[in-house]
Amino acid sequence: MQFDDQGRVNKSKKRAVFNQPEAKNRVELFRHLPQYEHGSQLTDLESKFLELDSMHPAVYKVGVQYLAGDVTGGNARCIAMLRAFQEVINDYSTPPGKTLVRDLTAKISSYVSFLIECRPLSMSMGNAIRFQKSRIAKLPLTLSETEAKAALCNDIDRFINEKIILADKVIVRHAATKVRDGDVLLTYGSSCVVEMILLYAHELGKQFRVVVVDSRPKHEGQALLRRLLAKGLSCTYTHINAVSYIMHEVTRVFLGASSVLSNGTTYSRVGTACVAMVAHAFRVPVLICCEAYKFHERVQLDSICSNELGDSNDIARVPGRPDVNSMDNRTNEKNLQFLNLMYDATPSEYVSMIITDYGMIPPTSVPVIVREYRREYLLI
C-alpha cells in the first residue's frame, strides 16, 4: 500500500490494532512510505496487552520484539515469525460452521497485518508467508483437523530447516573456498551468514584478517566485532566515511543481503551500495551471500520506490556526545526534515558473484533460479 493515498490510509487506520500517530515532519519524496512517531509506540502497544483478545500471545510477543528492535536481521525475523505461526497452528481449533483452510488463512492474514504495523515486512518474510499460505491452500480436504495441523507444522519445520539452516551451511562451505591465506576481508554491518563464513574459515585454519565497516545510527557492526574478537580473529574497525581510505588493502568484500531482485539488484542495509561501489572502483571482488528463499521476482531500479523509514530522532541525536547534539529537539522544525532510510539498492554491475545454496552464480542468473526453483515450493 502506498501511504500517500489518504483514503486507504484512513481505512487501514480503522482496522489497526494499536494507534500509531504519524510523524508530522516528513520528506516529500518518501511520502509513500509509512512513518510514525517512535517515542510512544512501544508503551502504547504494551499497554494494549490485555485488550488484544483476538491476538495470539506468540504473535503479539514477536510484534513487540520487532517494534523494540530486539529481533533484527532477515533470517532471525523470518524464523521468529514462522515459530509464532507454528504455535498459532498448534493452538488452533476450527470454529463451528467454518472450514479450516479459509478460517486459518484469514487468521494468518490478520496476524500478518498486525506484524506489518509493528514493522514493515522484509522480502524474506513475504516469501515465507506466501509459502505458508500456499501450503494451507493445498491441504487435501480429507485430512482431519489434527492431521492437517501436524502437516502444516511439519512444513514450517522443513522450510526453516531446508531453506534457512541447511542453506546457510551450504553457503558457508562454498564461500570458504574463496578465502585464501593472506586475505583481507571487508564486511559491512552485521550479517549472520557473513559471520558464519568468517568463523568457519577461521576454524579451517586460514590466515586472514577482517575489516568491519560500521555506520550510524545503529552501529550494528559492533556486535559482530565483539563476536569475532571473542573467537580470536584479528579485526580492524572503521566507519563508512573511511571506506575509500581502507579499500586499497582489501582483497575481498563479503556482504549480506535482505533480498536479491530479478535484475540482479541487491536490496540490503543502507550503506551497502556505497561499500560495493568503492570496492568496484578499486577492482576488489564483491561477494553477496544470500539464501535462495530471499530472491524476489520484483525489479527495482532505485532505493526510493520501496524502502523503510526509521526513527528521525536516531539521526538527530548522538548518544553520549552532548557537544554535537545541536540537532536534538529540532525534528519538528518547518524547514528541516530528517531522513533515516533503512535499506538501499546495489546495482548488479558492482557485484561479482552471489553465493547461494544453489552454488555460486553471477548476478544475471537470479531470474533463472527464481524461474527454476519456485516450482519446488509447490512440489514439497
Partner 1 sequence: MWHRSASFILDKNQNDTVYPADSVTLTPPPPSSISTPQNPNPNLNRNMSMSAYYQTRAAHHGVVTSDWLAQSQEAATRAVATGGQEIVDGGKSGRAFSVIDEFNNWRKQPDLAEAVAAIRALAAVIRNSEAKTMMELEIELKKASDSLKSWDTTSISLTAGCDLFMRYVTRTSALEYEDFNSARSRLIERAEKFGEISYKARKIIAMLSQDFIFDGCTILVHGFSRVVMEVLKMAAQNKKLFRVLCTEGRPDRSGLRLANELAKLDVPVKLLIDSAVAYTMDEVDMVFVGADGVVESGGIINMMGTYQIALVAHSMNKPVYVAAESYKFARLYPLDQKDMGPALRPIDFGVPIPSKVEVETSARDYTPPQYLTLLFTDLGVLTPSVVSDELIQLYL
Question: Does residue 184 interact with partner 1 by CB under 8 A?
Answer: no
Question: Does residue 369 interact with partner 1 by CB under 8 A?
Answer: yes
State how far the Cα of 326 lies from the Cα of 333, in Å rounded to an integer.
13
Question: Does residue 364 interact with partner 1 by CB under 8 A?
Answer: yes
Q: Where are the alpha helices (DSSP H) in 31-166?
A: 41-47, 57-68, 74-90, 100-118, 123-137, 145-159
- Exposure b/e, 186-222, CB count within 10 A at least 16 = b: bbbbbbbbbbbbbbbbbeeebebebbbbbbeebebbe
- Pick the closer one to partner 1 by CB: 122 or 352: 352
State how far the Cα of 217 lies from the Cα of 219, in Å rounded to an integer.
6
State how far the Cα of 59 lies from the Cα of 43, in Å rounded to an integer.
17
Question: Does residue 372 interact with partner 1 by CB under 8 A?
Answer: yes
Question: Does residue 297 interact with partner 1 by CB under 8 A?
Answer: no
Question: Does residue 295 interact with partner 1 by CB under 8 A?
Answer: no
Residues 215-254 that bind partner 1 (CB under 8 A): 252
Applying CB under 8 A, among 26, 77, 178, 202 the residue interacting with partner 1 is 178
Which three cell numbers, joined as nine digits, stand for 341? 532510510
- Pick the closer one to partner 1 by CB: 318 or 361: 361
- Pick the closer one to partner 1 by CB: 127 or 356: 356
Applying CB under 8 A, among 305, 368, 378, 380 the residue interacting with partner 1 is 368
Applying CB under 8 A, among 70, 241, 362, 378 the residue interacting with partner 1 is 362
For residues 287 and 352, is the Cβ–Cβ distance under 8 A? yes
Applying CB under 8 A, among 285, 303, 314, 315 the residue interacting with partner 1 is 285
Cβ 244 to partner 1 shortest distance, Å: 20
Question: Does residue 352 interact with partner 1 by CB under 8 A?
Answer: yes
State how far the Cα of 307 lies from the Cα of 313, in Å rounded to an integer.
18
Contact pattern for partner 1 over residues 45 through 74, marking x by CB under 8 A = ------------------------------
Applying CB under 8 A, among 245, 359, 378, 380 the residue interacting with partner 1 is 359
- Pick the closer one to partner 1 by CB: 244 or 263: 263
* CB neighbour class for 103 (10 Å; exposed up to 12, middle 13-18, buried from 19): middle
* Residue 347 CA: distances (Å) to CA of 191, 261, 295, 371: 19, 10, 15, 21
- Pick the closer one to partner 1 by CB: 30 or 358: 358
Question: In terms of Cα–Cα distance, which of 282, 262, 256 is closest to 350?
Answer: 282
Cβ 360 to partner 1 shortest distance, Å: 5
Question: Does residue 280 interact with partner 1 by CB under 8 A?
Answer: no
- Pick the closer one to partner 1 by CB: 53 or 181: 181
State how far the Cα of 75 lies from the Cα of 61, in Å rounded to an integer.
17
Question: Does residue 358 interact with partner 1 by CB under 8 A?
Answer: yes
Q: What is the DSSP letter of 362?
A: -
For residues 354 and 362, is the Cβ–Cβ distance under 8 A? yes
Transcribe 163-228 into DSSP letters: IIIIHHHHHHHHHHTT--TTEEEEEES--HHHHHHHHHHHHTT--EEEEEEE-TTT-THHHHHHHH
Given the rule CB under 8 A, which of 15-23, 42-50, 95-103, 367-375 is the region that contacts partner 1? Answer: 367-375
Question: Does residue 299 interact with partner 1 by CB under 8 A?
Answer: no
Cβ 346 to partner 1 shortest distance, Å: 17
- Pick the closer one to partner 1 by CB: 184 or 318: 184
List, in sequence order, every beta strand (DSSP E) within 233-352: 234-239, 252-256, 259-260, 266-269, 286-289, 343-346
Question: Does residue 361 interact with partner 1 by CB under 8 A?
Answer: yes
Question: Does residue 263 interact with partner 1 by CB under 8 A?
Answer: no
Cβ 169 to partner 1 shortest distance, Å: 19
Cell 568496484, residue located: 280
Cα–Cα–Cα angle for 330, 338, 296, nearest 5°?
155
For residues 197 and 206, is the Cβ–Cβ distance under 8 A? no
Q: How many residues bind partner 1 (CB under 8 A)?
A: 16
Question: Does residue 170 interact with partner 1 by CB under 8 A?
Answer: no
Contacts with partner 1, residue ranges (CB under 8 A): 178, 252, 285, 287, 352-353, 358-362, 364-365, 368-369, 372
